[in-house]
Amino acid sequence: MTEAIKGKEKEFFLVAPNGDKIEIQGVLSHPGYLAFKAYKATQGTTRWGEFTPLDLINEYDVGIIEIDSEIALPATLSFASQEELEDLAPGTPVASVGFPVEGLAGGATATKAPGTLHFGHISALTDVFMVRADPEHRLLIQHSVPVTGGASGSPLIDPSGKVVGIVNGGNTTVFKDKTESATAKVRLPSAALINFAQRADLLQALAEDKAEQELAEDELYWTASAHAFDDYFDVAVDDFEALAKKRYAVSKASNEVIGAGKLDAGKVQSFKLVSKSYPFKAVPGKVYGFIADAENGVPIGINVKNQATSQFLRDAKDKRQTSELELAPTAWVTVTEPTTLDVIVWSLVAQPAKYELHAYEWTAPSDEPATEPAP
């Protein structure tokens, strides 16, 4: 929700128990929310050469809404300690109080209704990849407390009354509602009652300004855990090499990493164009292919220029003559004379785009001269 509010604070408001509107001064989102949302697209499973991203819920899905400090706050709940959070186990009774409204009667008076209390149990504890993990990394709580739209953000409370999690979603089946509009959809909660909450220490870290530091440590865990899955880039490289053989009738390539880094726009509220250029020497009689790995899932693009003339180059056999933002963008180039290229990695970013740029070189078949560069 905080991501939806960000930059539009004046368009939203909170409702106090007495019905008064409370203006929103600002919002904070956990930095891991967008970071993991992008990263999970790079990990998945491969079947018959087709890559399918991991089907995971939104992780690090916590935020803070800031209001005028002079407004009297209601009684607040205490966070469970780190030791108590890591001691959570399946079967632990939990409860949640909130304001579910989606698909329920009384929507017209929802702002005047009291919070509703629901009970359930913890059914499983997993890491952000929804697999078994050590207690430190079990940041996702699966529970059987009933939830629907409007319940997100509700506290998940243990038997002692302490907050152990923040409700952020559940399993649903989505149907199209043609009675409303062509694009309208209806979500029906699953009868399995496997719903989700983010462990409370994620919110506490955000409140204590520790989220960025802890996320850097978590990203190392993501990388280590990713060995259990297929990586999108590995599949893309296989397709890239197969295309080279089909398109240019070449055999084995030599390849090297010619660049790696991060495209970072800094603290921005909207997308900003950022790029990095790498020189590369090309000669006639060769086919050059460039492919980049968007390592953290933020899409990137590749452009290739003649360094001397600034002319954009794309081999005539490359059907895609323009650069697009992708997880594994490619570009193909051949030259008719020795040429120094500028290979440019670029993106429109609001968050850092980590990448690694690879250059592949094939010898063009002697009976088929290399093609002319695109005009």
Average pLDDT over residues 238-267: 94
| Residue keyed to tokens 């008076």 | 109
Q: With 80 as the cut, is the pLDDT of residue 270 above it? A: no
Kindly report, residue by residue over 50-68, the tens digit of the pLDDT. Answer: 999 999 999 999 999 999 9
% of the chain beyond a pLDDT of 70: 94
Q: With 80 as the cut, is the pLDDT of residue 141 above it? A: yes
Bridge partner residues of 22 (DSSP): 14
Q: With 80 as the cut, is the pLDDT of residue 366 above it? A: no
Kindly report, residue by residue over 202-216, the tens digit of the pLDDT. Answer: 999 999 999 999 999
Q: With 60 as the cut, is the pLDDT of residue 372 above it? A: no
3-state DSSP assignment of residue 275: strand
Query: Domain 2-228's class?
Result: mainly beta
pLDDT of residue 182: 59
The answer to pTM > 0.95 is: no
pLDDT of residue 70: 84
Where are the domains positioned within the chain? 2-228, 231-363
Average pLDDT over residues 155-173: 92
Tell me how far apart the alpha carbons of residues 80 and 82 are, in angstroms, rounded to a whole number: 7
- Going from the C-alpha of 265 to that of each of 68, 155, 273, 310, 344, the distances in angstroms are 30, 34, 8, 24, 16
pLDDT of residue 373: 52
Kindly report, residue by residue over 231-242, the tens digit of the pLDDT. Answer: 999 999 999 999
Contact assessment for residue 334 and residue 315, using Cβ atoms and an 8 Å cutoff: yes
Query: Domain 231-363's class?
Result: mainly beta
